[in-house]
Structure 1
Amino acid sequence: MLDDRAKLLLKALVERYIADGQPIGSRTLSRASGLELSPATIRNVMSDLEELGLIVSPHTSAGRIPTAKGYRLFVDTMLTVQRDGLQAPALPAEQPQKVIANAAHLLSNLSQFVGVVMVPKRSSVFRQIEFVRLSEKRFLVIIVSPDGDVQNRVIFTEVDYNASQLVEAANFLNANYAGLAMEQVRERLKGEVERLRGEVAALMQAAVNVGSENQSDEADVVIAGERNLLAVSDFSSDMDHLRRAFDLFEQKTQILRLLDISSQAEGVRIYIGGESHVVPFEELSVVSAPYEVDGKIVGTLGVIGPTRMHYDRMIQIVDITSKLVTNALSHRR
């Protein structure tokens, strides 16, 4: 437990370091805190904070900088978010993919860091399905979702089909299975083989298989503004830090895992680098929030930047963008 004096000094140190990016000495901290304390008293408090693992002294300086643990205490107990009239342009109610891409660029532009948006998995429920012959044994499957989203899939079959067979297969699927998930249709079709002519059943099974496989793997993440990190002194002065950050963006797997975890909680969440396996680099922090469609959480978005970021501003940026995405996707329906 920290006393009020120690908390005030830690808060002043974190805020000053975020603003300047330079290790904070006792004289600077005395002025920043506004406390009438002797340099010796401040040094003693800083020594206590260092023993608690909240600040650390870089090898090249007598000043101190916050650790991930120090940032966490600051964010959880000392951060006050003041609404400063942040203006963000509305996102038009376009196709979901366009809304997601626009949101990632908006996050990047407003934060000057990296914007990330998790693409929601598309529903595997279909409203209508049609077949179009492209060439011998090659067909286009057109799948229309309940909200009007259209997906096209190409399938290859062992035998060729004529126009009447394609219509027969589409009519059977639309009449008997519209409104069901592809996985359900696939299972039910296995029991329908006896009732259907074998070749048409095989066509339908192939279409449903490719539809469900593509939709189940649909989750992805859109990333914008990676090059913004080149302008951040914390990274530009250390190529190893920068390389590790770009490796993270290239892999995407860990970012997806993080956003998936974030979608399970309401409101803005902050992940300080080095705290967990999800954000494995002490130099990075993530501010995230879920977004909804018609009251249901379907994905997450956020900002990735250095641990030395203005968290109050990032919280506002992420919060307002999540609301803009929610409105754009919900009003599209």
Structure 2
Amino acid sequence: MPENKNLTASVAPMMDWTDRHCRWFHRQLSQQVLLYTEMVVADAIIHGPKERLLGFDPAEHPVALQVGGSDPDKLAVAAKTGEQYGYDEININIGCPSDRVQSGRFGACLMEEPDLVATCFAAMQAAVDIPVTVKCRLGVDDQDLDETLPRFIETVAEAGCTHFIIHARKAWLKGLSPKENHTVPPIDYDRVNGVKARFPKLQIVVNGQIETISQGLDLCEQGALDGFMLGRAAYHTPWILTDIDAQVYGRDAFGQSREDIALALIDYAKITQDVDRTTKALIRHAMGLFSGEVGARLWRRQLSEGLSAKLLPSDVLQQALDAMSAMRDAA
């Protein structure tokens, strides 16, 4: 890895996954990784229950708010609201391929409207003092990426955007589900490298099918990229996040055990479960804590059974941890 390269590592915004409880959990595994919220639609931020949609624990910093929309004025208000709530970055979603998002004229379909994206970005950045970034795809459907991707980046960069997170695959807006859009269009890291080579002064972060920290670092080195973003791997095998502080940021190696983290989750649940019924989602987010370890299946089963029994989240976690301890004592 080049010396003095200020790389970044982040966990992608993922609908139904990266809520405040998931982010708090991930923060226990890395103090440096940049965390992202689920996408929140600008109209919801303006008209909806702001605290429920935007509230977060101060421990989550650094944390970015991802916003969806295509109305510059509404996006500017949403960005300003996010800044007032204390987010460190505002990100605009130009990557989600779902039908619902398309019907609202935002997400990946905006890859076909770079001028509008540039206008939206400019309005958002003018409204806030924190960075506004863009998360996009390589393109959509039958676009000629040799032509459309550079034009998209150049147009939005001319509006002042200096930071792009690029999911290194196309999105197919018709004929594929959002789930299929995560795997079916082929991954193309070379396209992301090409963007960095053509626009070397921009910060370019690669996203898509990155399974390990080592892979992310290798991709950054190969393409002279500025960072990498983990998606499903961070959710299903969250322990990989414990390598980030040392390997990416040069900090001390992670020193806690999985049991330590489980105890921290129990304490967190005890504090939040009486005032926030969504704390039960923490159980689902913690399913992968012991992934790859002896007893991982027992851990998942105990959590699933505890959820089915409608126990308090702290009790579900405690019973699962007790079962893990009993198993190890008997080994």
What is the TM-score with the length of structure 1 in the denominator? 0.22
Rg larger in structure: 1
Structure (1/2) with the larger helix percentage: 2
What is the TM-score with the length of structure 2 in the denominator? 0.22
